[in-house]
Amino acid sequence: MNHFECERTGKGAGGKEVEMKFARPWIIAGLLLTAPGAEAQLLPSPGQALGQVGGVVPNVLDRVEGALDHTGLDRLSPVQLADRLAAARAARIGDLLRRHADSIELDDRREPARRGVILLTGAGTKSIAALRSAGYGVETQAVEGLDLSVTRLTVPPGQSLSRALKAVRSLAPEAQASADNLYFPSGATMAGTATALAEAGSVRDKAVGLIDGGVARHPSLNGPVEQQGFARGAPRPSAHGTAVASLISGNGSVRGAVPGAPLLAADVYGDDPAGGGAFAIARALGWMAARGANVVTVSLVGPDNPLLAGAIRLARDKGVTVVAAVGNDGPAAPPAYPASYPDVIAVTGVDGRGRLLPEAGRARHVDFAAPGADMNAARADGGKGPVRGTSFAAPLVAGRLFATGSLGALQREAKAGGKAFGKGIICASCRNID
């Protein structure tokens, strides 16, 4: 077993218990803008192979190539399904590390993170002095909107992130230290290049929040869209962010769950190879809270991270409800985050026949299901095309929560389903199929 894998037992043919190997949850990082494990998929145009990288945001949103063939997934045994998903994830994460080794490394849990950066909260002055003496760069930053102060440490030259984390926890035992872990959508982008961001403007009314890549200009996105960048080069239009935005507020050839709703879009990727980090997402949540967004959708997946968990709790205290996708790592994979945090509404995906997607991941809880396949969304080049993955189910639930105004009202709107669907299926007809 290599370091990309961990072991788990499951039922094989005939109910026999067998050992399954699958990639760790971060490998679901496969990643970006096509979706945090074979995450959300932006399906390719005719003649384009799944896994082929388009030109929307080269090397960042489409940083990880690799194909996941969805054909026949529902006919595979649990072991076969886990193996197929693991192989796709391992290929993506290996490529990610090879291409961006100068920006990304693994932390002490072998999760991908920004190279050489440690996030620290709750450290006392003596500990900060000790860290400085040990050669760590120290910079304290406030996360506006959340009343949260974060100390960003720069690891001394020649020291690995994994080793540095252990040292920091020894030098500052009272503090909470973590890597700046990365969160990704995953899959293949469609052909077509975004020419511009969605019309810039200031949203004055209540708006739905979106933490993802930037949103491109599109005829269906004719409501107010205000964008803010939280990474180098952001905001920058992306295929995934545009698709997700259209499923919230599209009002044209693509119709969202709440057509024309104002959007606050936080781009946490930009053109940074290590974009999509926990610190960027925390800052984006602070912006959402300060702007009064009461519903925020996050179609990103990655590992548990104490800074992100704390930011979500603080945002919740300020009236922000986070809706997140459970990812597409498959049912054998460990629970994904942020969907697994107790303060988050976790969403899984169903196909056009109302069946749970075979590749749908899991969380420690599932609250709702929504369409995640056999559907269209906006393309960054102004058209529309098919998408697949739980990344595209989450914005439908977020949109309907915004429209109904309460969790109770949303639950009453849900179409009954089994236990795997949580409280039921939301927006079952929101598919934009010609």
CATH number at residue 168: 3.30.70
* Side-by-side strand order, sheet with 384-388: 41-42, 384-388, 375-378
Q: Both 103 and 116 in a single domain? A: no
Tell me how far CA of residue 383 lies from CA of 200, 246, 378, in angstroms: 20, 11, 6
How many domains does the structure of the chain reveal? 2
Least Cα distance to 231 among 152, 284, 178, 306 occurs for 284
Q: Both 65 and 176 in a single domain? A: no
Its domain, for residue 261, covers 1-110+183-434
pLDDT of residue 56: 33
Mean pLDDT is lowest, of 53-62, 101-110, 313-322, for: 53-62
Q: Both 157 and 265 in a single domain? A: no
Give the end of a domain, one of 130, 165, 181: 181
pLDDT digits (tens, 9 = 90+) for 30-71: 333 333 333 455 544 333 322 222 233 344 554 433 345 566
Give the end of a domain, one of 158, 181, 204: 181
Tokens of 165: 């984390």
- Kindly tell me the number of DSSP H helices and DSSP E strands found in the chain: 8, 19
Q: Give the span between the Cα atoms of 151 and 310, in whole angstroms.
A: 14
Beta-bridge mates of residue 325: 347
Q: Both 115 and 57 in a single domain? A: no
Q: Both 91 and 161 in a single domain? A: no
CB 356 within 8 A of CB 380: no
Mean pLDDT of the region 406-419? 92
Length of the chain: 434
Least Cα distance to 377 among 367, 365, 391, 363 occurs for 391
Residues 6+ apart with CB under 8 A from 230: 266, 267, 268, 270, 280, 281, 283, 284, 287
CATH number at residue 69: 3.40.50.200
DSSP letter (8 states) at residue 32: S
pLDDT digits (tens, 9 = 90+) for 68-87: 556 677 777 778 777 777 77
CB 118 within 8 A of CB 279: no
The β-bridge relationship of strands 295-298 and 321-325 is: parallel
Tokens of 364: 């420690």
Q: What is the dihedral angle through the alpha carbons of 203, 195, 371, 269, rounded to the nearest 10 degrees?
A: -70
Q: Both 144 and 192 in a single domain? A: no
Long-range CB pairs of 95-102, under 8 A, 24+ apart, other chains included = 95/64, 95/65, 95/66, 96/29, 96/31, 96/63, 96/64, 99/59, 99/63, 99/273, 100/59, 100/63, 100/273, 100/274, 102/273
Q: Both 148 and 218 in a single domain? A: no
Triad 255, 256, 258: Cα angle to 5°: 120
Triad 421, 355, 383: Cα angle to 5°: 105
Angle between helices 278-290 and 306-317 (to 10 degrees): 10
pLDDT of residue 345: 98
Give the end of a domain, one of 181, 196, 218: 181
CB 263 within 8 A of CB 226: yes
Q: Is residue 2's pLDDT more than 90?
A: no
Q: Both 305 and 161 in a single domain? A: no
Q: Look at residue 381 and give its three-state secondary structure.
A: coil
Mean pLDDT over each residue of the chain, to the nearest integer? 83
Angle between helices 394-404 and 239-249 (to 10 degrees): 30
Q: Both 265 and 219 in a single domain? A: yes
What burial class does residue 244 get, using C-beta atoms within 10 Å of its C-beta: 0-12 exposed, 13-18 middle, 19+ buried? buried
pLDDT band at 432 (very low <50, low <70, confident <90, very high): confident
CB 128 within 8 A of CB 138: yes
Least Cα distance to 192 among 64, 384, 395, 39 occurs for 384
pLDDT of residue 354: 93
Q: Both 177 and 194 in a single domain? A: no
Q: Give the span between the Cα atoms of 54 and 57, in whole angstroms.
A: 8
Q: Give the span between the Cα atoms of 424 and 429, in whole angstroms.
A: 14
Of the ranges 187-191, 192-196, 273-277, which is most confident? 273-277
- Higher pLDDT pick, 348 / 201: 348
Q: Both 263 and 232 in a single domain? A: yes
Q: Is residue 16's pLDDT more than 60?
A: no
Q: Both 224 and 319 in a single domain? A: yes
pLDDT of residue 194: 67
Tokens of 69: 């063939």
Q: Give the span between the Cα atoms of 171 and 136, in whole angstroms.
A: 11
Tell me how far CA of residue 174 lies from CA of 128, 167, 177, in angstroms: 11, 13, 10
In the chain, what are the helix, strand and coil shares in percent, each to the nearest 5? 25, 25, 50
Least Cα distance to 388 among 379, 380, 377 occurs for 377
Question: Tokens 């919740």 sit at which residue?
Answer: 316
